[in-house]
Chain A
């Protein structure tokens, strides 16, 4: 007999599942297989978080220098904020873009290889013929990687959310703008988890890393555009009539999102977007005749006011942002659930032959 009991330090026993074939063993395996992707994600997240913390601190400092108001145009502080190409606003938009595309990178580099690389290297038979069952192997790995993704993106999302709020104080941006909307609240976490799961599912279905990664890119861009097109009307917009040239009613302050209306067109045969006191919409030609566009903007507003012209708007108030976040996050979590169900279905149907 081979002396199993003579080598206690290196021998697993049948009753010691905690250290062998358990979470610890799979934790090591997950780390060993995905360490470069995980380290890359950590480095990217650390750089992003550091950069955003720096931008937030700088913007806050300038905000205080301008007595907690927007800095006057052409002031040194405004120059520092708005300069191109490395003004703080421009840098904040770069970080915003990175936060927006981070889920794509997670899907491609962490999600896709989980199963596609095993298929490509034909190591699934090796992995699934050990004492750890395929189900345990799959769900433990997905759980560990999912936790990592959630933790890293939560850190990024927290700092990103803070930066966006500082930015709205210092600049003219608002939180309902699509890029800002995606980079705030819980959305970076939900979107990252969603694309991680989709990446795993595509890797399981296509079984090749490059085509699956390409599938993630196409799906990510397609869904991002779809959400951008659809998100303004996820809830029924509110309607309002605004007096043109009149005092600011404050309706569109605090991050409101204009869904329709608000644009004035001069000189065209079609509708101008301006309404007279009887509620009739003027054509562009009528509006140009009534209030000719001139270089003096104040004079033009005065004309609008004198003629009691109005605009009809549909908008989403900024107070709805948390609700919209919840709706979009729920959609992405639904996508996650569907992707994981597909992964489980594909794994159950995967038959492995030794030949």
Chain B
């Protein structure tokens, strides 16, 4: 990826709370103008990573760049940051000023940002029928989430970080919001990173995946490419799969072995790769679960060895 096309780059980023490592030596590059799904179990370090990208939490070590500019805690664009590296973050609990009306919240966004697109923020609220004159404290959880999203979108950030954005929404609103978010991202030069621990939320949303486990990135890449390069091989009991590629997961019964393999080139779906063996594509859910299980097993093995 060229530097222009990289929205976020982490170089050995670590973050420790006391004796607990929330992130450990994270290194990755995330492409610009894409919707990035940040996936991980509770406590995997998703919120910590997002807070470091947003500049509200310092990394214990390592460096993080947004559009090529290093992120420094507490430094916003009025102190030398670049408009091209502006980041907006929407926290899990979607904080708003309770006694502000929705209109006041939009004015807050306009007052606190050098770039503000009132039309974009208003249009978001209109799409979801949010009453502008109502106090935020009187809105439902879902409505509050929409107001928080409108404020974040109105500031026209280069990178929009959404921490569990769909948590307060009903299933219909989830579909609407993800659809609208994808449209917003497609219409503007904005990179959206949304985190979730509910894999089902991701279907059809993210086009780039960053999978965190215990503070480390275990899988990152374009979703299509990842799905194309992974295959499940099932055949007679064997210690190794019948073809090239890195074994992500191996399961054995007395008579049968199943391997999830990351292959160097895209396999042909359902092709028979060796006598008695079948190859099947795997879904995004399966891919994520496979890597999370493999990572958990690796940790367990490490702890047992220690």
Chain A positions near chain B (C-beta within 8 angstroms): 1-4, 6-7, 10-14, 16-17, 20-21, 24-26, 28-29, 32-33, 121-123, 125-136, 348, 351-355
Question: Which secondary structure dominates chain B's binding surface?
Answer: mixed
Q: Is B268 an interface residue (CB 8 A)?
A: no
Q: Is B31 an interface residue (CB 8 A)?
A: no
Name the one of B56, B76, B98 contacting A125, with C-beta atoms under 8 angstroms: B56
Contact A16 B163, beta carbon cutoff 8 Å: no
Contact A136 B79, beta carbon cutoff 8 Å: yes
Known contacts being A133-B75, A133-B76, A355-B91, is A128 close to B119, with CB within 8 Å? no
CB nearest to B105 among chain A residues: A126
State in angstroms the CA–CA spacing of A133 and B104 once bound together.
20
Report 19 cross-chain contacts, Cβ distance below 8 Å, ordered by A residue: A2-B119, A2-B156, A3-B119, A4-B120, A10-B110, A10-B118, A12-B113, A21-B112, A28-B111, A121-B95, A122-B95, A123-B95, A123-B96, A125-B91, A131-B86, A135-B74, A354-B50, A355-B47, A355-B163
20 extra A-B contacts, CB within 8 A, seeds A4-B120, A123-B97: A1-B188, A2-B187, A11-B117, A14-B115, A21-B111, A21-B114, A28-B111, A33-B97, A121-B98, A125-B56, A126-B91, A126-B97, A129-B56, A129-B88, A129-B89, A130-B155, A131-B113, A136-B78, A352-B51, A354-B163
State in angstroms the CA–CA spacing of A11 and B163 once bound together.
26
Tell which of A7, A28, A348, A353 has the most Cβ of chain B within 10 Å.
A353
Known contacts being A130-B155, A131-B155, is A12 close to B116, with CB within 8 Å? yes
Chain B positions near chain A (C-beta within 8 angstroms): 46-48, 50-51, 54-58, 73-79, 83, 86-93, 95-98, 100, 104, 107-120, 148, 151, 155-156, 161, 163, 184, 187-188
Contact A351 B58, beta carbon cutoff 8 Å: yes
Contact B51 A20, beta carbon cutoff 8 Å: no
Residues on the B chain within 8 Å of A128, using CB: 56, 74
Tell which of B90, B117, B163 has the most Cβ of chain A within 10 Å.
B117
CB nearest to A6 among chain B residues: B119
CB of B190, distance to nearest CB on chain A (Å)? 9
State in angstroms the CA–CA spacing of A12 and B83 once bound together.
12
Residues on the B chain within 8 Å of A122, using CB: 91, 93, 95
State in angstroms the CA–CA spacing of A258 and B18 once bound together.
57
Residues on the A chain within 8 Å of B46, using CB: 355
State in angstroms the CA–CA spacing of A10 and B118 once bound together.
5
CB of B58, distance to nearest CB on chain A (Å)? 7
CB nearest to B46 among chain A residues: A355
CB of B182, distance to nearest CB on chain A (Å)? 14
Residues on the A chain within 8 Å of B54, using CB: 129, 354
Residues on the A chain within 8 Å of B119, using CB: 2-3, 6-7, 10-11
State in angstroms the CA–CA spacing of A319 and B296 once bound together.
80
CB nearest to B97 among chain A residues: A123
